[in-house]
Amino acid sequence: MLTLHQAAPTFTLYDAYQAQHSLEDYKGQWLIIYFYPKDNTPGCTTEACALRDDNEKFKQLNTKIIGISTNSSKSHLKFSENQSLPFTLLADTQGTVSDAYGALFKLGPLKFSKRHSFIIDPSGKIAKIYRSVAPGVHSEELLQDLQALQKAFK
């Protein structure tokens, strides 16, 4: 199980446009990694749209957002376009990254990402872990926690 202040598990995954992204790409800035179950479902859409609507606030805090689910890049492209999402969605089709972060749920042959989030600090360490996420208020919760964490980080 992951703990605060440990190095975030590394990953390399593809986005909706088949571009590769790695944790290393985000060193030196704050990063939110949010795992979610399925593109184009009510809770996941609510959460993604709240993050979208607050995207400028996250930018002002030098923070990037990455969404990860077990959906395909093609599914992410449709979801991202339908909801005008300004942040990256990564396809963890094998569930290996979700598993490394303790966010993989398996039920027989089915597997999907649980709704968990992580704030990663500029040095690549886990600054905050969310194992219980309410889609409608999570973006505001992340913003408040980011501000407090950034003040303490200096």
Question: Which residues, at least 6 apart from 154, have a Cβ–Cβ distance to it below 8 Å?
Answer: none
Per-residue confidence at 133, pLDDT binned at 50, 70, 90? very high
CATH fold label, 12-153: Glutaredoxin (3.40.30)
Q: Where are the domains of the chain?
A: 12-153
Are the beta carbons of 104 and 111 closer than 8 angstroms? yes
Backbone angles phi, psi at 104, to 5 degrees: -100, 130
20 forms beta bridges with: 14
Q: Tell me the pairing of strands 30-35 and 20-22.
A: unpaired
- Per-residue pLDDT tens over the stretch 71-122: 999 999 999 999 999 999 999 999 999 999 999 999 888 899 999 999 999 9
Per residue in 54-79, pLDDT tens?
999 999 999 999 999 999 999 999 99
**Residues marked as catalytic:** 44
Read off the amino acid at residue 127: A
